[in-house]
Homo-oligomer: A and B are copies of this chain.
Amino acid sequence: MREPLPADMFDELCPSSLNPIRFGDKWAALIIRCLEQGPRRFSELRVPLSRVTPKVLTQSLRSLERAGLVNRTVYAEATPHVEYELTPLGRSMLEPIAAACAWAEQHWDELLDARESYDDDARLDRTG
């Protein structure tokens, strides 16, 4: 106990403009889960992600593509469309995401309670 902390832990987690341990941007993990069962078209993704504007959804998908987690395929046929699907790399990410989700689900009530009681205390501090 109480060993001195290493001088700089940044190299371990931080070269992370990529920031993989945060699973990318706000919607990344959700998108990856939407692709878990197989390729989906842009319009299909818009259904579960109805609260994400098309601009932001495109942004996120491009950034997932850039990270090698998602493939984008254009079908220029009679009914032109675009499909997104997980790469093997993207698929491998399902596991840590599931672990994080399971943790969150498992501790959801505790998390809500903690926040509530913290906020209640803060209110008391202000009120007197």
- Taking Cβ atoms with an 8 Å cutoff, the residues of A that contact B are 1-10, 12-14, 18-23, 26, 29-30, 33-34, 37-38, 40, 44-45, 47-51, 65-69, 89, 92-93, 95-97, 99-104, 107, 110-111, 113-115, 118-119
Q: How many copies does the complex hold?
A: 2
Decide if B5 touches A118 in the complex (CB within 8 Å).
no
A114–B20 Cα distance when bound, in Å, is: 13
Chain B residue numbers with a CB within 8 Å of A26 are 19, 22
A4–B40 Cα distance when bound, in Å, is: 9
Residue of B at shortest CB range from A89? B110
The 8 Å CB contact of A7, one of B3, B47, B115, is B47
